[in-house]
Structure 1
Amino acid sequence: MQPLNQATLTQLTDSALATPSPVQLPRYRRTDARVGVVHLGLGAFHRAHQAMVFDALLQRGDPRWGVLGVAMRTTELADALTAQDGLYAVQVASREALRWQVVGSVLQACVAAREPAQVVAAMAAPGTRWVTLTVTEKGYGPALAALLVQGLAARRAAGLGGLTIASCDNLSDNGRKLQQLCVDAAQHDAALAQWIDTACAFPNSMVDRIVPAATAQHRSDAAQALGLADACALGTEEFWEWVIERRFVDDADGDALAAVGVQVVADVKPFEEAKLRMLNGSHTAIALIGAVLGVPTVADCIARPDIHRFVRSLMTEVVMPHLQRPGLPAYRDALLARFANPELRHKVHQIATDSSLKIPLRWQATVLAQLAANGSIEPLALAAAVWMRYLLGADEQGQAYAISDPLGQALQATAQRRRDDVAGTVRALLAVSSIWGEVLPHDVRWTARVEHWLQVIRRQGVAAALAQLHPSD
């Protein structure tokens, strides 16, 4: 099939969708929907996850779940969505089939850095009921707290009730941490701080769906499927999961969410820990291995028997013994199948972004638990050594790559300065307490094994290290 010339196509908008379409479209009148959710952190993940859940709620006839999507700083996506009336297409890919869906829940889009007053006014609007967030782990700082507190202060001053404010980022105990962040930021006004603490609900939640960065191929494929130009098209996998604590301003919201597939539970922690340590922890390890080997995507990595065996062993022998999520073997097998999905084209360098923030959340607790139980630490010691090799900024073929990390420049300088001194590299990089904590840098067993694997990697390469980890293969 010849690709369509997107420049000559009609743009995806409400009016353009008035004609029959071969893909799934919103089955509700978008003019009847109203903004009930302010989402901070507009990006691919939100649009392929929470926004699709809210779209399902709108499909069920509840008009209160329309979204104001707020990009925090960058303007391109918000402006592109505005030009398309908030509409965009999502390609949902399983190993068996591809399908397209046009999502209609994003009714408006703006940029917090450019239109802060609009964001504050939206949080203070009578129809707003929820605030959701996907601002990444590094986004939970003073600027976010100030924006939220300003909106909540305006809401309280208007005599309105509190909001359900749900973090959807990969942070353990994310609801409580966000609540404390907001309460602390409101300490200049004791009455406001108390109102935030008591009138608003901050549920812990865990979200899961693999959403690669949107590409030109997504836009081309969307044009082929829709017959319309969609500048905001993206792709994702069929699997999705949202586990949220039953802690809402309006308790009936839990039943509404459950009706469209959200798991509403008393305690998110078993699900949260399994996701962080099994999916996210494995993802980080795969990404670093792939980056150093020069293997571009997760599916390409997991197609290699040595990496597949490494990941399965990491989850089964090292991570799972310390988790309580029900059905762990089935969850592990589902993760391996998802990693292998070739349609996702999830790039390793995208996943390796911000590794200094991800490693403490995804690896550290497992290493400590294994050391305390006198269990195997080999897969994670190898992964830590691969991370140190990754910091050199070039793969094993000599191809340079950028390291996108808040500590990237300092870490790369350390790795390069000590590139001929393996023991010195390990000492210096493990000494970064924000990554490895206060215990691991002084644990002789851990440091010795990381040093061993870095020595193997530097002399023989990552593939040789993987082979030595499982010599029977």
Structure 2
Amino acid sequence: MNPLNATTVDKPQLTEKILQFGEGNFLRAFVDWMIDGANQKGIMNHGIAVVQPIAQGDVVKNIFNQQDSLYHVYLEGIKDKQPVKEVTLIKSITRLLNPYSDYNAYESLFLSDALEFIFSNTTEAGIRYEEGDHIYAEPPASFPAKMTSLLFKRFTKFNGDASKGLSIVCCELIEDNGSTLRQYILQHAAANNLGEAFETWVKHHCFFYDTLVDRIVPGFPKETINEIKAEIGFDDNLVVKGEYFHVWAIGGDSSIAKKLPLDKAGYNVLFMDDIHDFRAKKVRILNGSHTAMVPVALQLGCETVMDAFNTPEVEQFINKMVATEVLPVINEDPEELKVFAAKILERFYNPYLKHYLRDISLNSLSKWETRDFPTVKDNFIQKNESAKLVTFSFAALLVLYSGKSAATAFIPNDTPEFVAFIKSTFNASDIKTWVEGIVSNKRIWKEDFTAVPFFVNDVTSYIALILDKGMKAAVATLL
């Protein structure tokens, strides 16, 4: 087996036009995979310099150095209902820097005349405003303070040259990720008296993009790494495994489509002025289906998404729910919605990824409220109808959290006081009062579930059905 480095692989010399905060699995199997593909097809010619966002990480840095930042992305999934596999050697990362141990190299990079982009995935907790964060530290602690420092030094070096502003594309899984980062940078600028000219430069000559990223990336395939190394023929200790499906929606200034023409390289990258409607659609179909499926499938003995979709009752439940309750209340072309939903749901049949239901079940109460209740509400508002299947999933969730379900080994991973309230107030002889007490608890919910007049009665009847007949028979009755 060959070592993987620049002596065994022909690695191109690329100009570092991208500074990337984050060396984790997702960015490497998503953003860097696309950039590399566009480079190889001659559509772009962009080197990626990766910066570690936290001080720790010497083990990973050492592996990057040993492999000259070369690694494979190993994708498996379903396309047009057929298994598909794709293995790609990624050659476009030029180096990995830790700004805490090599600040001078980091500063030289972000002050480079050639730099055009910043990509980031500093986790959901990364984009936060830290009061008093020292922006003159080398480097500052928080990501927004790092960005403020970086941009101010760049502004200063180039004397406010409009052409030296950067395009900043955030991949953190929060809504309005780029807009929020911009807001915090301006907040740091004001707090540190960096001047109106700098703030104007940030507002008008740096471009911040809100994005939605979607690909399941389990990461390093520890269980099968020896087999994978034998297959690819290299001793690669940075392999990233992911699903074949991907979509990247980028919203903001339209110039990004020309600056980052990944769609021209065949990737599912969508450019739009505003991604809010796209996000809402994706959340309702994909995330709403995941959240609705979990309490039903767990009570049928399933462990993974694949287990669930190999169970006819669950497969039929989710497909019918999406087709008859979710899609009809989304205000878009029905045929285009069907195609979009089909591509989303096809991922549930992927036999290669172990996507555990217990992991998806994290914080199911808040997830159901944000992902599924809007469908219930819109069915009432638009059609004066009950979204029976989505409502049933809420009943299944309450049964699951009551401790009285068939999934006796399941322990909810949710806000403890909310779970305790649901469990301690359970009353099998008066289910309606129990449900009313839960949906009226303002500590748990932001929404008023009683705004849908038949919601409590429907949930009550479905809970009684589940407790009386069991989940399998209850789903069959509903279908």
| Aligned-partner SS, 1:437 | coil
1:157 is displaced (CA, Å) by: 2.9
Q: Give the superposition deviation at 1:79.
A: 5.3
Structure 1 residue aligned with 2:67: 84
For residues 291 and 219 of structure 1, what CA distance do their matches in structure 2 show? 30
User: Alpha-carbon deviation of 1:307?
Assistant: 1.0
Matches within 5 A, 1:326-341: 327-341=336-350
More displaced, 97-106 or 351-360? Answer: 351-360
Distance in 1 between residues matched to 2:103 and 2:423, nearest whole Å: 42
Aligned counterpart, 1:180: 183
Is the CA contact (8 Å cut-off) linking 2:23 and 2:52 kept in structure 1? Answer: yes
Shifted more, 366-375 versus 356-365: the winner is 356-365
Q: 1:335-369 CA distances to partner (integer Å, 9 max, x unpaired)?
A: 22221121223222333345456445422432332
Structure 1 position 147 matched with structure 2 position 146: yes
Alignment pair present for 1:306 and 2:304: no
3-state SS of paired residue (1:202): strand
Task: Give 2:390's aligned amino acid.
Answer: L
SS at match of 1:399: coil
State whether structure 2 residue 294 is matched by structure 1 residue 271: no
CA RMSD of aligned residues (A): 3.6
Distance between the aligned counterparts of 2:412 and 2:446, measured in 1?
Answer: 26
Query: Does 1:35 pair with 2:16?
Result: yes
The verdict on how the C-alpha distance between 1:364 and 1:86 changes in structure 2, with shifts beyond 3 A counting, is farther
Query: Which letter maps to 2:88?
Result: Q
Hey, what does 2:248 align to over in structure 1?
242
Does the 8 A contact of 1:138 with 1:357 survive in 2? no
Distance 1:118 1:292 in 2: 54
Structure 1 residues 459 and 201 mapped into 2: Cα distance closer, same or farther (>3 Å)? farther
For the pair 1:321 / 2:332, whether they are aligned, the reply is no
Offset of residue 277 of structure 1? 1.2
Shift of 1:48: 1.9
Counterpart in the other structure of 2:119: 132
Match of 2:170 in 1: 167
How far, CA to CA, are the matches of 2:273 and 2:329 in structure 1?
20
Residue of structure 2 aligned with 1:60, choices 23, 37, 41: 41
Report the counterpart of residue 214 of structure 2 in structure 1: 208
Deviation at 1:328, TM superposition (A): 1.0
Task: Give, in angstroms, the shift of residue 332 of structure 1.
Answer: 1.9
Conservation of the 8 A alpha-carbon contact between 1:301 and 1:307 = yes
What is the TM-score with the length of structure 2 in the denominator? 0.79
Distance apart, 1:226 and its partner CA:
1.8
Where does 1:36-435 land on structure 2 (aligned, <5 Å)? 36-61=17-42, 62-68=44-50, 70=52, 75=57, 80-93=63-76, 94=78, 95-109=82-96, 122-137=109-124, 139-142=126-129, 143-159=142-158, 161-188=164-191, 189=193, 191=196, 192-245=198-251, 247=253, 252-255=258-261, 257-261=263-267, 262-325=269-332, 327-355=336-364, 358-373=367-382, 374-391=384-401, 396-400=406-410, 403=413, 408-420=415-427, 426=435, 430=439
Q: Which amino acid aligns with 1:321?
A: P
Structure 1 letter corresponding to 2:293:
I
> Which residue in 1 is equivalent to 2:137?
none
What residue identity is the alignment partner of 1:466? V
CA distance 1:271–1:415, change in 2 (3 Å): same
Residue 440 of structure 1 corresponds to 449
State the Cα deviation string for residues 42-86 of structure 1 (Å, max 9, x = none): 433322211111111221343324241545587365554444333
Cα 1:401–1:125 shift into 2, 3 Å: farther
SS of the residue 2:168 aligns to: strand
Paired residue type of 1:154: K
Q: TM-score, normalised by structure 1?
A: 0.80
Q: Deviations over 1:259-313 (max 9, x none)?
A: 4433333443443322121112212333444444442221221121111111112
8 Å Cα contact 1:207/1:242 also seen in 2: yes
1:297–1:346 Cα contact (<8 Å) kept: yes
Partners in 1 of 2:477 and 2:101 — Cα distance? Answer: 53
Q: Identity over the aligned pairs, expressed in percent?
A: 22
CA contact (8 A) 1:87 1:106 kept: yes
- Which residue is equivalent to 2:133? none
Q: Per the alignment, do residues 275 and 41 of structure 1 end up closer, same or farther by CA in structure 2, a change over 3 Å counting?
A: farther
Q: Which amino acid aligns with 1:147?
A: K
**Offset at 1:164?**
1.5
Task: Look up the equivalent residue of 1:58 and give its one-letter code.
Answer: N
- Output the amino acid matched with 1:176: S
Alpha-carbon distance in structure 2 between the residues aligned to 1:56 and 1:274: 28
Unaligned segments of structure 1, at least 5 residues: 1-8, 19-28
- Give the Cα–Cα distance (whole angstroms) in 2 for the partners of residues 244 and 120 of structure 1: 28
Q: Secondary structure at the match of 2:208?
A: coil
Q: Aligned residue for 2:132?
A: none
For the residue of structure 2 that corresponds to 1:263, the secondary structure is strand
**1:329 Cα deviation (Å)?**
1.1
User: Cα distance 1:317–1:34, how it changes in 2: closer, same or farther (>3 A)?
Assistant: same
- Provide the rounded CA distance (Å) in 1 between the counterparts of 2:96 and 2:211: 24
